[in-house]
Structure 1
Amino acid sequence: MVAVGTYIAGRLVFRDGFEDAGWQWGKPGHYVYAFGLALFLWAFSRIVEQLLGIYEAPKDVNITTILAEFLLSFTITLIPAFSEEFGWRGYLLPRLFTRYSTRYALLLHGFITWVWHLPVVVVMGTQLGGNPLISVPLIMLISLIPTIMHAVVFAYIWSSTQSLAVATVYHAAFDEVRDSIEGTVGLGPLSQNWQMLILTILGIALLWKAKWKVKSRKVLD
């Protein structure tokens, strides 16, 4: 639906096109970094949990099972991942850059992506147990800053590579490294909190220090 809405906006409503969306493949190294970051966020912390005995994996699961599940789900997830990257980074963000300061545009686009994911966040809150009037607002509050900062990370990947393809691969890798591990060996408390901590720190650092490739374009009212 993100891609459909974006296409309608760019072709039928505002008619400003998608020339600045990032129609480049990027360099091979970009994809290595994209996969590396996804593995660092999920697999690294899971390995640490296993080595320290914090969260033990089931005895009947092996690396082949994890890889097979990842490859299948990663291939399928490329489609919705591209949809979001096309909408949030390829279309929304360049237009926010023309109206607001770089930092404000990044934060605003991150907040919008958080709002888009609120149905998932609400479901997570109801699954925590207890009173949903407490658990749902709590999980919403906890997810707000990490989600916005992760959007900044997504934006930097897209901006620095000028490639929707690289951003899409990172998006799919992030989701499916997580889901493949969770569906096979499980995610312990370190794994679940590690990625939020790292993404928050990384997002703040990029927001504060990174040099952003912002293209000037005509604003259509």
Structure 2
Amino acid sequence: MPVEKQPGRPFSLWIYLLIVFALSWPIQVAFVVWGQTELLSYSLSSLAMIMVTVGTYIAGRYVFKDSFADAGWSLGKPVHYVLVIGLGVLLWVVPTLAGLLMGSYSWPAGLLVSQVVLVFLVKFIGVLIPAFGEEFGWRGYLLPRLAQLHTPRKALLIQSVIWWAWHLPTVVGIGFMVAGTGAGAGAGVAVTVLAVVLITIVPSVMHAVIFSYIWAKSKSLGVATVYHAIYDSLREAMERTTGFAPITDLWTNVVITIIGLILLVKADWKTLLSGKSR
């Protein structure tokens, strides 16, 4: 995807990451340490996501003097939204239904479907702006610049690993939480945290591939943002209402990995990232 460039400092990945991580990682750490209530958890996690856009704007506007014209400002097509909503349902709702059919999961007594939908809608609205914060930075800005410096798949993988690495404070926090609950009993805190970190690498990198494909195929930050919001809000709504079926985590990670690998290998990334599929 071509990047319109004004006279300024050549793009530097390390300078860009320094700015974005410096603004957002401390907030992620605060989220892990102090995000004990729902309000603090939402506020800190959302602010960390928004800081990706703030850092991107500072880097692009004042350091590299870039244009943001090719970030993906079109709305996208209705079919794109239908497909990303369907993907969110496949990842989070289907395993719950499968658990009910297999008898390995029971619907909570007294819980109405309308209550689940309401929680989802509230969380979806609440996460839209933070989701845009990430998509503008990682997909709309970073990926096309990497694609000018590397082959399309190499650029894609670099961006995907960076996206995983950006989540590390939260992932490490989850590792400590797992160790604290005794789920990693006998392994020790350090080993448990390391295991959680390593387990997240492949699904996270493959999920970034999916995000990138959605953005590149639709040429729309709107579609990518809606998918991000659908994914996060469905996960949180179901976790807080129905609870996860025993197969949910495994199902979600396996499906993401399979779809990501297929897209990584089969998609025409040269065309997608050059903007020729407009």
TM bin (shorter chain): over 0.9
Tell me which residue corresponds to 2:232: 175
The higher relative CO (CA closer than 8 Å, separation ≥ 6) is in 1
Structure 2: distance between partners of 1:156 and 1:214: 9
Tell me which residue corresponds to 1:214: 273
Correspondence 1:101-180 to 2 at 5 A: 101-129=151-179, 130=185, 131-180=188-237
Tell me which residue corresponds to 1:48: 98
* Match 1:20 to one of 51, 70, 83: 70
Structure 1: distance between partners of 2:231 and 2:95: 14
Tell me which residue corresponds to 1:9: 59
Alpha-carbon distance, 1:162 to partner: 0.2
Alpha-carbon distance, 1:8 to partner: 0.5
Alpha-carbon distance, 1:24 to partner: 0.3
Structure 2: distance between partners of 1:140 and 1:105: 23
* Residue correspondences, number: 216
Per-residue CA deviation, residues 89-134 of structure 1 (Å, 9 max, x unaligned), is 0000000000111111111101101111011111111111242201
Per-residue CA deviation, residues 35-81 of structure 1 (Å, 9 max, x unaligned), is 00000001001110122121222111111000000001100100110
Tell me which residue corresponds to 1:31: 81
Letter in 2 for 1:41: L
Alpha-carbon distance, 1:9 to partner: 1.0
Structure 2: distance between partners of 1:136 and 1:4: 30
Per-residue CA deviation, residues 126-177 of structure 1 (Å, 9 max, x unaligned), is 1112422011100100000100000000000000000000000000000111
Segments of structure 2 that go 5 or more residues without pairing to the other structure are: 1-50, 180-184
Letter in 2 for 1:180: A
Tell me which residue corresponds to 1:187: 244
Tell me which residue corresponds to 1:82: 132
RMSD, matched Cα: 1.0
Please tell me whether Structure 1 or Structure 2 has the larger radius of gyration of its CA atoms. Answer: 2
* Match 2:148 to one of 98, 110, 120: 98
Tell me which residue corresponds to 1:202: 259
Structure 1: distance between partners of 2:141 and 2:90: 28
Structure 1 segments, 4+ long, off by >6 Å, are: none
TM-score (norm 2): 0.76
Letter in 2 for 1:122: V
Alpha-carbon distance, 1:214 to partner: 1.6
- Tell me the SS of whatever aligns to 2:247: helix
